[in-house]
Each structure stands twice: as structure tokens, then as C-alpha cells.
Amino acid sequence: MKNIKQSWAEPYKIKMVELLKMTTPAQRKKAMQDAGYNTFLLKSEDVYIDLLTDSGTSAMSDRQWAGMMLGDEAYAGSRNFYHLEQVVQDVYGYKYLIPTHQGRGAENILSKILIKKGDIIPGNMYFTTTRLHQELAGGKFEDIIIDEAHDSESEFPFKGNVDLDKLERLIKKHGAAKIPYVSMATSVNMAGGQPISMKNLKALRAMTKKHGIRVIHDMTRVAENAYFIQQREKGYENKTIKEIVHEINSYTDGATMSAKKDALVNIGGFLAVNDWDIFEEARNMVVVYEGLHTYGGLAGRDMEAMAIGIGESVSDEHIKARVGQVIYLGEKMLEYDVPIVKPIGGHGIFVDAKKFLPHIPQDNYPAQTLAAEIYLDSGVRTMERGVVSAGRKANGENYYPKLELVRFTIPRRVYTQAHMDVIAESAGRVYQRRAKIKGMKMVYEPKYLRFFQAQFEKLK
């Protein structure tokens, strides 16, 4: 008898649908030209399947929607804040909570508190907003992720790991006093949603403790990282996602969170710390930039939806189906020979544009070009994560990241397996005609986070 495999499937059913507009090739061509070949500048109604980001794009559950009706919209002391505080303490294990409107609000406050001019902030690969806030506060980011993370072909199971030798060298060179904290992300976004192992994190904790350096956790996608630890790391196969998340956080001193990802809400975030002094300063500062410390730029109903979403996000069934769908899409793309970052990560498929379009030099934006071509082919919207996203250094020079990627980011609980098929087929079709695709030049470049609003023209 044949051994029949046990497939993953969604632990929910669909109660409401949102109708999508189907477009013609001519409509897409016009829309892409009007958007200056930047998928961020497309109108969402011109998009069929939206894989721009998994940020704020999840479908909330009936329980979260019911929670929205329990919003206590008091200016101060909303009951939803206390619910959220209790959930953050229970699920994540951090002591003090400062809500913010989204992740970068927390990054701003944290960077302003901890970073002094001339400080060095080592991290396991940069994230756009995180690094910018570090730089705006006077710090310099130093990448200490393992080399494998920069190699799209390496199948190393924990490509989010910190290279402790790189960290040791930085400490020797600058002195621990110049390093306010290590910026450690779970499910490293720019590396392709790659996890850090518990073993590496424990070793990072031991080394930083010795030198009196904090570890601050970008926990935006911590549950997805926990899933890979459960699947790949010895000793964790029988632990729940919630237990693993708790253990990860226990090796860190505080966290910034964009709740728009893991936590299944359309808006929201927070800063969470264990240190009373930092908390006190953050609570002072949040009123300047976000709002009172019991709402931080959020409505009461937003905090309630977040509190409920955090609970759902650490369910083993949820995370298995969530990552299962991403892996399904990646394996389909591999069937069509599309070069993707391996192993497949937690929140999307990252197509290697350098391998896909080897004839286009990085200065002509292969990933930006490929994202435009995918949209033209099928109305699927993706995002550049390469030289445009990397931006410029403080001295004006371009950063040239090794990874030049197009991210097909999967919103949580939104699309079906049939959508995944359509996406993979589109990537396969564009791959078949790749030799005919030409690069682009940038014709408008904003000063900060240029990828959001830059505009391009096709090379003739």
C-alpha cells in the first residue's frame, strides 16, 4: 500500500470574502507606467493577488472582530491596554509594555533612549526602518549575521544566526561601552525569513552578558521562527510554539514589535522591556511621539484585536498552516526552475533576481525590474528587496547588498492554495522569457527609505 502523506490545512473556514478586480495586460501596462515601475506606487485596486507585504494585511478572526466591539476608547487607562499588557506578559514574558502605532514607532523610542552618537549597533542583518532609526539616533549598524545568510543557495537551517566571532571582533575593536545593545531579529526578514537557532541565541546571551551588553529582540515574526526551531532543532520537537517563543524572549532584555505581522492585526506595535529605567524613559518619550502610554497611537479596539491576535499567533495549528502555505508556494516555484532563497523561509518566497536576470547589473535594478514584470504578467504585486531597499550610506554612497531579491510575501489567512498555483505559474512564465527583459534607471529618488516612493524608467 502507498504511504499517504498528511497535508497541512487551514485551521479555520471562510466566513466573508472580498471580491478582487481582474485586469487586462493593457490595464496593467498603464498602471505600472503610472506607478513609475514601483509596485509601492500601484493602486491596490489594480492588484489581483497582493504579495507586497505580510504587514497589516492579515485576515482577522471572528474573535478579533468581536473584540473590536469591546474597544474602550478612553483617553487614559483603557481596559484594552490592561488586557494587552497581561497578554504580552503571559505570552511573551516581557515585564513592561509601551504600545506604539507600529514597529517603527517602538524603534524610534528605543533608539533615542539607548543610542549615543558614535555608538555601534551589531545586528543579524539590517532591516530598513530599524537601521535608519539607529542611524538617526547617531549610531552605526554593523552586520554580524553568519556568511551563509548572504548566500541564497546555502541550505543551512538557521541562516538567521549571529556570527559570534564577528561580534567578538567588534567588541575588541570598539569596546563594550560603545555597544548599547545587539539588535537581534527572529525570522530575519531581509535574509528571506530565516530563523535563528535557540543554541545560537543562548550563546549570544552568554557572550553579551559577559560584556554587559543588552540584547534587544525584533520580535516581529517570532512565532514563525519558533516553528522552525520546533521542526529543526534537537530537543524542541515536543515543545509548543508558545513555550519556544517564551524561551527565545527569556534570552533577551526587551523587544520591538510590529504586531502587523505575527500578531494578526492591521495596525499596531509595541516596545516591551524588562528594565524599569528604560521603561520609565520610554513612557516619558511615548507621549511626545505616539500618544499617552496607555494607548501609544492606537484605538482601544486596536489594542483588543492585538491582544486576541497574539494568542492566536502562537497556536501550533495556525503556524503550521501559515508556514505550510509558504513552503507549498516555494516548492511550486522550484518545479518551474525559478531560483529562490533556500531553505524556504517563514513569511514569503524570496526570488533571487541576480540569478533570474543575470544579464542586468545591480545598478539597473534587477529585483525592481522583476517585480514590475511579475505584475505585468499576472497582476501579482511583489516587492523589491535589493539595492533600492538598501539605500545609501550616511556618506551618500549606495549600499550594494549581496542579496538582490524579489519578495513574494504571503499575508496570513488571506489567500488559498489555488492562488499559490497562479502565483508560481506567473513566476515560471516570466522566467521562461527572462532573456528578453531589460533593466531600468531611477528617475526619482527620495531622501529616506527610497524604495517606498522611488520612480523608474525602462531602459530601451
In sequence order, the 6+-apart residues with CB closer than 8 A to the CB of 152 are 192, 339, 340, 341, 342, 350, 352, 355, 403, 405
Binding letters toward ligand F0G, positions 167-206, x by CB under 6 A: ------------------x---x-----------------
One-letter amino acid for residue 450 of the chain: R
By CB under 6 A, residue 260 contacts ligand F0G: yes
Minimum CB distance to ligand F0G smaller for 23 or for 130: 130
Closest CA to 332 of 417, 415, 437: 417
Distances (CA, A) of 33 to 39, 262, 362, 369, 435: 10, 33, 21, 12, 21
In the complex, the smallest distance separating the C-beta of residue 54 from ligand F0G, rounded to whole angstroms, is 7
In the complex, the smallest distance separating the C-beta of residue 221 from ligand F0G, rounded to whole angstroms, is 7
Segment interacting with ligand F0G, rule: CB under 6 A, options 32-40, 127-135, 279-287, 390-398: 127-135
Which residue reads 517570532 in cell numbers? 222
Minimum CB distance to ligand F0G smaller for 256 or for 294: 256
Residue nearest to ligand F0G (CB): 103
- Residues 303 and 268 sit within 8 Å (Cβ to Cβ): yes
In the complex, the smallest distance separating the C-beta of residue 108 from ligand F0G, rounded to whole angstroms, is 9
Minimum CB distance to ligand F0G smaller for 53 or for 200: 53
Catalytic residues: 75, 127-128, 218, 261, 385, 451
Q: How many residues bind ligand F0G (CB under 6 A)?
A: 15
Which residue reads 506595535 in cell numbers? 269
Backbone angles phi, psi at 117, to 5 degrees: -55, 135
By CB under 6 A, residue 381 contacts ligand F0G: no
Segment interacting with ligand F0G, rule: CB under 6 A, options 126-134, 161-169, 209-217, 423-431: 126-134
In the complex, the smallest distance separating the C-beta of residue 218 from ligand F0G, rounded to whole angstroms, is 5
Q: How far apart are CA 56 and CA 263, in angstroms?
A: 9
Q: How far apart are CA 128 and CA 450, in angstroms?
A: 10
Per CB under 6 A, the list member of 39, 61, 130, 362 interacting with ligand F0G is: 130
For residue 446, is the peptide bond before it cis, meaning its omega torsion is within 30 degrees of 0? Answer: no
In the complex, the smallest distance separating the C-beta of residue 438 from ligand F0G, rounded to whole angstroms, is 27
CB burial of residue 451 (10 Å; 0-12, 13-18, 19+): buried
Per CB under 6 A, the list member of 38, 53, 78, 161 interacting with ligand F0G is: 53
Binding letters toward ligand F0G, positions 213-242, x by CB under 6 A: -----x-x----------------------
By CB under 6 A, residue 368 contacts ligand F0G: no
Minimum CB distance to ligand F0G smaller for 171 or for 271: 271
In the complex, the smallest distance separating the C-beta of residue 182 from ligand F0G, rounded to whole angstroms, is 15
Minimum CB distance to ligand F0G smaller for 189 or for 426: 189
The b/e string for 42-80 (b: 16+ C-beta within 10 A; e otherwise) is beeebbbbbbbbbbebbbbbeebeebbeebbeeeeebeb
Segment interacting with ligand F0G, rule: CB under 6 A, options 10-18, 125-133, 138-146, 388-396: 125-133
Minimum CB distance to ligand F0G smaller for 61 or for 130: 130
**Residues between 64 and 123 that touch ligand F0G (CB under 6 A):** 102-104
- Residues 106 and 127 sit within 8 Å (Cβ to Cβ): no
Per CB under 6 A, the list member of 48, 81, 96, 127 interacting with ligand F0G is: 127
Per CB under 6 A, the list member of 129, 152, 225, 230 interacting with ligand F0G is: 129
Closest CA to 152 of 437, 417, 367: 367
**Residues between 319 and 358 that touch ligand F0G (CB under 6 A):** none
Interface residues toward ligand F0G, by CB under 6 A: 53, 55, 102-104, 127, 129-130, 185, 189, 218, 220, 258, 260, 269
